[in-house]
Structure formats: C-alpha cells, structure tokens
Structure 1
C-alpha cells in the first residue's frame, strides 16, 4: 500500500511540475478544470445526487469555468475579477466560520442539493486559486502546495510511528495529535529552510503553520462528509490515494484563503481601472 501510494505521488508530482512550469496559461486553466471536474463528480457521488443531476452538476461547473477562461475574448473583461473576488470571499467565510462549527457540531446534511452547493463553494474557488496563483508565480503556488504536502506526509509518518492520542476519533479515527505535531514540525523545518535560502522574514513560518492548520481542517471536513455518507474514499482514480478529492482535500481549504489575502487588497483597484 505504501509503495503504491509513493509511486502514485511520484508520477503525479512529475506531471504536475511539468504542467505548472511549461503549459501556457489557457492550457493550465483547462487542465486544472478537468481535475476539478472529476472532483465535482466525486463530490456529487458523496452527496448522493441522482445520476442525471450529477451530469448536470459537473457540466454546469465545466461550462462556467470555460466561460471564465474565455471572458476577455467574449467581451466580459470584468467577469474574471468579480467571480474571483466573490468566490474566494465565499470560500473564506466557509472555511473560517462554517467549517469549524460543522466539525465541532458534526451535524449531518442529508439534502443532496445543499451538499452540492457546499461542493460548489469548496471546489470552484480552489480551481480559481490554482489558476490565479500560478499566474502570479508558479513558485508561489508550489510553496503553498508543498506546505500542504509536507504537512500531510509528516503527519502520516509521525502518526504511524508515535500516534496514541486521537485528534477527532468520531470523524477520522486514524488522525492523532502526534500526527499534528509531526506536521507542524515538518512545516517549521521547511519554513526555516525557505527563510534562510530566500531571505524571507521568519514570521513566514507562522503563516505556513496557519496553512497547516487549514489543511488539517480541510482533511477533517472531507472525512466527516465521507463518513456520514458511508464512503471510505471519494473515488479510485489514484492508486493508494483514492480519488481526486482525497488528494486535494488539504488544498481546498488553503489555496482559496491564501489567494484571498493576496487578492482582496487589490480587488477594488483592479475594478476601478476597468471603469476609469
């Protein structure tokens, strides 16, 4: 199982690095849209949408994504920044206010339409953040994603070796406080290396630890939704990992929020330039 997991990770990493550095912007956006569309399909399955509605759900997300990609070419230059702002804002409110309450209360949402809407709030901003952050700098995107991956790997190995105290046994019995400490330690070392090698301020480490907390929240939320739906994995596309959702759960709660703090201060200046 571990060998399969590692092999899948290596293949994914090689393909991802090639795409993030060499694909033109439009093709990158389309590739990420394809991956997010699969995640939408998996989420629709967890939400127990009837199959015809699953097709409508995913198709709508794809069509809307393509419209955003082509916005400048179809005479809607303000569509991208407006959709970006409100989508990222919705995701930020969800992860900072709704998700903590959901995890603490562990309430179960039985209405497929409500779960489908939540999937939209989670997944669409993730796609927008993947596209926009890479547009700012591929290295910025990699730095944030590497934080999540390092936290996940460090938590996995620390939990296996030292895990005794359960983090959230009724949500995800395999996660432990020792795993969380391992994630923080791994990310702290990673942050220190970044600060020394790139001459970054040391408070950068605090930001990376915040990203780690958010990634754990995303992981726990997906675990809760899957457990309540009676599902072990979101899919079987990635051997050793499960589905796309199982691989990006930590990114759905981190990328949009990082993008919010980057994008929010400049949004009104950008919109003012369109109407000047």
Structure 2
C-alpha cells in the first residue's frame, strides 16, 4: 500500500510536468490560480476558526494566515499563526500551536489550467504538548488546477506529503501522504465546493480521510467569507466531525 501511494504521487507529478511543455504561459489574471478563494497573486489575510470533535475531547483552532507574493508574483510566501483551545476531561487549555511558514511557486499555467508547487515547514513551537506534534515537519506538495464549463467549475488536485525530521524523541514521527480533490462551482457572488481527502498515515498504518462541503460568498470584491462542515472517515481517523468558518481579505 505504501509503495502504491508513493508511485501514484510520482506518476501524478511527472504527468503534470509533461503536460506543462504544451502551450504558452499567459497573463496571470486569466489563470485558475487567480480565483479569490485560492489567490496566489494578491496579498491575502485569512482568519478562520475550526472546531473538531475527537474521541478525546474537542479542539478549537483560530488561525491567522498571511500570504504575500514576491518577485514576479510566481512566488508566494505563507505564514500560519495558530491559537489552539482544547477541552478534554473537563480541562480547558488555550495556547499557541505549531507556527508554520511556506513558499509556493507557479512555474506554468494557461487560461484554463496550470500547476504549482509548495513547501511548508511546521515548527515545534506549541506552548503545550497537546497543541502540536512535538516535531519539526516538512510538507512538500504539488497542485494541478483546471477550469471547466467556461470557468463555471474549477478542479484543484493536490498531492502532499508530511514528514517529520527533528523534534522530541518522546513523540511519534509524522509521515502522512495526502491525495485531495477539490471541486468548486461558481455562481454569481457565491461558490459551492466539495472536497475529499485520502490521507494515509504510515506511522499508524491506516487511513485518516475526510470530506467537506463548503459554501462561500463575496461580501465585497476583495472580502470573502465561507463556512464548511467536515466529516472524517477511515480506520485511523483523527477526529469525528468539524466545522470551519473563515474570512478572506485580498489587497
């Protein structure tokens, strides 16, 4: 199973790279990575709150995410500052989670499709062991995006792997591969999205999958809000159900 997933990831990236040799790069304003929900070319502030119900209690994460394009805007920096609250056995705790930073690069896209790469580093910086993994984690990822039906629909496929490389020897290693498909339907100032993530945890030797349904709306041309409930499934699922609400500011 492990080799099958890894081979699939490699094949996925090679196929996209081969496709990228066809056609010319076009103006960034016309590409699928310019959509407000996943905009790589504008400065972005994303503030969201996610509640997760688990078998050991609940986790609530309030996250501030900042994205900043650099250079010719094919590059993008990302910073995440999570504040986590837990409620387990009637004990409430709140503190800083694992702070993360990343960089994205879009080497190619056309009017209707394109692909990007991203690498993130999650630090072992949580204020309490229950707020983080206790590890430093590197997360490389590849994305393929494609419009359908005259930009009415957008598909974003993701291959991502999380791997710990340092941190507390008393905590479990992190080794997880994610295959994700996100479909968005745009209508008026609104969008509706569905997502299924197949996530395999090599340490636990089991799946930690999830799926969500998202509804979002443009409040103004540069301010958006969304809500999405989610449910987890698989033999080693990390939570039962959750709900996330967010506000996106583009400038």
TM class by smaller structure: under 0.3
The structure whose residues are more often helix, as a share, is 1
TM-score between both structures, scaled by the size of structure 2? 0.26
